[in-house]
Structure 1
């Protein structure tokens, strides 16, 4: 089972992705995680990626495609994989087709951008553990302090309001051609494409995903 999750940042792709990978025993390949891993390695490509993200821009197709190509060749992808955050552009989608990388399902998570902005800009992170809070939906017991250690929480550079606004603008530019491509691929029977309302409760979304993946 080879699955693509589409949707703007903050639509809950990562949460549903974890559920899918656990249920169907396939690896979740998150371009966000891969890019952060590259940044933390502090090598030349990591520094380039860090500068791009901090400016609120999207990392180039070439960089992302090379990371994906290496990842799906690993043994744990033999029975399938889930791509979270890739493809982001029509060029990346063409890359998958050109390299004969078979995709079974494309799921698009939909949510108004105003809601996305509220969700992402309200995130607070405990850097040492990766614990995530939200000032409205999941606030810490003490303002801007980690519940377990009492250490200060941070706002990631790409979660700051101006950065999120830029990311959403960039997303709009590339999103519609990409969705149209997969709608057409669905019509000719190459993939199964579904749109999911990401405003629903997590359990409802989970049940919807389960039903889709049975088809």
Structure 2
């Protein structure tokens, strides 16, 4: 199974990706993880990426595609993959299609986790994290039993400074402007699958699996 995950920040892509890894035994390929690993390893692509980041520049699509190509050659990706974080725009989608055609691993689907703007804003602005164990809560949707106290370890919870309406509004606007056109792109190619990312996590997972049955 070879799929791309689509969805705005806060849509629950990461949670569902972990469920899919467990269910189907295929890796999640996150471009953020690839960049960190390449920089850490000091590979040729990693050195190029580090030079760009050190200069305050975006890492070029060419470098990211090179990292994806290398990752797809590893043994665990031969049965399929879940691509997360790429493509982010139409130009990247076209380049990805070319790469996957070359490696004979074409996409079978693009799975959209669809969530309304107001729900995304609540999820992201209400996020609380534990300073000690890293557990995450939400003051609106999944509050701790005791205010500002972690259910798991009893330590203090904090609200990240960048989890405010202005910053999150900008992130969602960027997604809307750059990434949401991909929905139409994949729909036109007959690859779009979609679920509502609201409600019980396991129910969403079941809806995701039902959609993926269409391409299994």
- How would you bin the TM-score normalised by the shorter chain? 0.7 to 0.9
Report the RMSD for the aligned CA atoms in angstroms. 3.2
- Counterpart check, 1:144 vs 2:148: yes
Q: Which residue of 2 aligns with 1:29?
A: 29
Q: Which residue of 2 aligns with 1:18?
A: 18
Q: Which residue of 1 aligns with 2:44?
A: none
Gaps of 5+ in 1: 53-57, 187-191
Structure with greater Cα Rg: 2
Structure 1 residue 173: Cα displacement? 0.7
Q: Judging changes above 3 Å, is the alpha-carbon distance between structure 1 residues 150 and 202 closer, same or farther for their aligned structure 2 residues? A: closer
**TM-score of the superposition, structure 2-length normalised?**
0.77
Pairing 1:57-206 to 2, within 5 Å after superposition: 61=61, 64-99=64-99, 100=101, 101-156=105-160, 158-186=162-190, 192-206=191-205
Query: Secondary structure at 1:29's aligned position in 2?
Result: strand
Q: Judging changes above 3 Å, is the alpha-carbon distance between structure 1 residues 144 and 64 closer, same or farther for their aligned structure 2 residues? A: farther
Gaps of 5+ in 2: 42-46
| CA distance in structure 2 between the aligned counterparts of 1:155 and 1:39, rounded to whole angstroms | 29
- Figure out how many residues of one structure are paired with residues of the other and give that number: 203
Structure scoring higher RCO (CA < 8 A, sep ≥ 6) equals 1
**TM-score of the superposition, structure 1-length normalised?**
0.77
Structure 1 residue 67: Cα displacement? 4.4
